[in-house]
Structure 1
Amino acid sequence: MHHIGIRRETKAGERRVPLIPAHVAELARDHGLRIAVQASPDRCHADDAYREAGADVVETLPPCRTILGVKEIPVDEMQRGSGHLCFSHTVKGQDYNMPMLRGVLRKGATLIDYELIVDRHSRRLIFFGRHAGYAGMVDTLWAFGRRMLDEGVETSLAAVRRAFDYASVDDAAEHLATEVADRIRTRGVMPEIHPLVVGFTGGGNVSQGAQEILDRLPVVDVAPDELPALAANANISRRAVYKVVFRRDDRRDFARYLPYLSILVNGIYWEPGSPKLMTRDDMRTLWGAGTPKLKVVGDITCDIDGSVECNVRSTIPANPVYVYDPDAHSASDGVRGRGPVVMAVDNLPAEFPIDASAHFGDSLFPFVVPLARANFDASYEHLSLPAAVTGAVVAHGGELAPGFGHLEEAMRKAGA
């Protein structure tokens, strides 16, 4: 039996890996682990790089003690008596993945969710979050440039490319900090869209990563309560982008800020039952009053029908946006139409796969050896996993793990 298996990702546009070849080489060399890697023509690191690192590259994964993926692992690829790590998108009771969770229970496999591996202060230890922010902000700026071109206004942001069209995060950041920023400094923001105001929600890695990208441009920070005065001041500089960060207390009656925003970048954590940030009624009211300033909503956290109700479906890197119709509550691909352009890519870090995978693998690496040595045939109480990993076990031995019993009701409601 192999200790670790790395599966081939099958989601469109997904090129990330949980471990890069350098990680595999160290695990094989220093810890004696046998590692199998499922062959893939799309992965950001070639099969040969894994072979050179000491892995067995195979078409179908053999029996493995632990299987590592990035996105959801199909039930028919799971192995009974093995651990499976991925972003399962089940722990909020997401109805679209409840059949998968039911299949995990029927198969008797062990499901561990990266999102739940946290320290004693509930801080996530394994994440792509900042890279989601990087890619999401680039795609959001690209979308704004495309939308304004469609409206007949050529802005400095028209030069921004989609995230996956850049070689790396550094490549995108440098382009923004030089060519795009220089255009704003020399040409200024077009009068039709001045002041260009970008609003951010959230204080975690997603929002911070997005803000890092915007900060490559000439930015002036403003407070939420300064927005009305900013809009009324005809003398403010056109050679800057205005940035506003909304803290938790600012989110009450959030609709009062919407008329002042050009772009909204959403990075808040949201669960079903939590308050909405921007509702259907908010958008109907905003567009019912005419053509508003708000052009793009970048929903980086990408909760469908979540904190921003204009997110009605997710998108892929190759086709990252749609226009939300606030009256019909529907979406149409592209940037043309009545309503905001919505960026809702649900695997944003895949647009910077090499950078994101190296960072992710570094954070996962300390847990790999214990996972490789674990006996997943043991009872939950005797799994002998690090405490942070034990708390992330969603299902084991045909049952939901302690703390996840509520998902039984979610599966029932989803008809699973």
Structure 2
Amino acid sequence: MTLHLWLRHEPRTTERRTPVVPADARRLVDGGVTLTVEESPQRIFPLEEYEAAGCRRAPTGSWAGAPRDAVIIGLKELPDSPGELMHRHICFGHAYKRQPGAAGLLRRFAAGGGALLDLEYLVDDEGRRVAAFGFWAGYLGAALAVLQHRGRLTAPLVPTTKEELDAVLRHGARDARSTALVIGALGRSGRGAVAAFRTAGTEPTRWDLAETRDLDRPALLGHDVLVNAVLATAPVPPFLREEDLDAPARRLRTLCDVTCDVGSPFNVLPLYDRTTDWAEPVRRLREEPPLDLIAIDNLPSLLPRESSTDFSAALLPQLLAFGPGGAWGRCLDRYHQACRELGIEQRETGT
């Protein structure tokens, strides 16, 4: 059966990215995939480029009425309706680590007979994610932290290009004397954060598993800027606690949590109860001495063209090989496992 992909509009007004860019849409169509693309006023690539690649056009938000065998593909959260989800959805569901609203989302899939194919759990034979925005999340997280620490971050945030962002980061780098720490420095997000700090003229301290097994909190608090790029998959002792923020020797002034695992028991920075956003990117956690938090959960959308192009290129081979086995089979198994863990009855669903 021919695969019918349905690229949906993202309801979040600050989401400019797409999981499939027009150049890769052309490769999918040439490979025999039917691709329907919804109208979207904010997607970084205009719909006309998809039509030129051989894609079908559909109204914004019309995916709920798509043929049942269509596979709906997007990035971030689904709207609250319909209450029953009958399609297979490829997206980041944020539903497998007991996040707020997770059970409700999975019950919607169970009620409609659909399935969540969560991009975070699309992995190869060795358990490595095959497509991720991590590098750009880390890059943007460190960049915003640098600009905030230098007093040069302005709100609301607006999407830009890497060239424009790098020019801002390099400006004043010669006079910068701050110290920075990246936790999770060997992962995708960590490598992106390190790259952004270097662009800004700062060589960061880099910690990963070896340094976090026996955490040196005084050393952590002795840096001016901290970027957390650790995505925990099991509960671990937090890197920072409320009492640490009041430590007399705290030098830390700017904290960026790239992971944004707020509400999850796996959160390594349980210091806040809500994320920040483009309109208000910074939250003050302490007044004296000041400590500012940046916790934006769609950072790569600030560089929508670059991040979408990289992600789409990594996802393309998986979409061309879409089927019941391999990475997609593992993805579906993880969905069923999540339903079982919550006691949700799930109809048998195949890819």
TM-score (norm 1): 0.73
Residue 368 of structure 1 corresponds to which residue in structure 2? 319
Structure 1 pair 80–318 and aligned structure 2 pair: CA distance change class (3 A): closer
Give the superposition deviation at 1:40. Answer: 0.8
Measured after TM superposition, the shift of residue 347 of structure 1 is 0.7
Indicate how the Cα distance of structure 1 residues 72 and 393 shifts in structure 2: closer, same or farther if over 3 A, else same: farther
Show the 5 A alignment for 1:7-406: 7-28=8-29, 30-59=30-59, 60-61=62-63, 62-63=66-67, 65-74=70-79, 76=81, 82-146=87-151, 158=152, 165=158, 167-177=160-170, 179-181=171-173, 184=174, 188-189=175-176, 195-202=177-184, 203-220=186-203, 243-251=204-212, 252-271=214-233, 273-284=235-246, 286=247, 289=248, 292-304=250-262, 306-325=267-286, 339-371=290-322, 384-393=323-332, 401-402=336-337, 405-406=340-341
1:224 paired residue number = none
Q: Which amino acid aligns with 1:390?
A: G
Change (3 A) 1:81 1:253: closer
Which consecutive residues of structure 1, in runs of 5 or more, have no partner in the other structure?
147-157, 190-194, 221-242, 326-335, 372-383, 410-416
The AA in structure 1 aligned to 2:257 is D
* Counterpart amino acid of residue 401 in structure 1: H
Contact 2:11 2:79 in 1 (8 A): no
Matched to 2:229, the amino acid is G
Unaligned runs of 5+ in 2: 345-351
Give the drift of 1:44: 0.7
Q: How many percent of aligned residue pairs carry the same amino acid?
A: 24
CA contact (8 A) 2:221 2:252 kept: yes
Q: Aligned residues, how many?
A: 333
Alpha carbons 1:20, 1:358 under 8 Å: kept? yes
- Counterpart amino acid of 2:210? D
TM-score between the two structures when normalised by the length of structure 2: 0.86
How far is the alpha carbon of 1:300 from its aligned partner?
A: 0.7
- The CA deviation string for residues 54-78 of structure 1, in whole angstroms up to 9 with x for no partner, is 2222112332521101012336358
The 3-state SS of whatever aligns with 1:323 is strand
Instruction: Name the CA shift for 1:165/1:13 in 2 (closer, same or farther; >3 Å).
Output: closer
CA contact 2:156–2:280 (8 Å) conserved in 1: no
Bigger shift: residues 123-132 or 48-57: 48-57
- Computing the radius of gyration from Cα coordinates, the structure with the larger value is 1
Structure 2 residue identity aligned to 1:385: P
Residue 108 and residue 258 in structure 1: after superposition, are their counterparts in 2 closer, same or farther (change >3 A)?
A: same
Alpha-carbon distance, 1:338 to partner? 6.0
By percentage of residues, which structure has more helix? 1
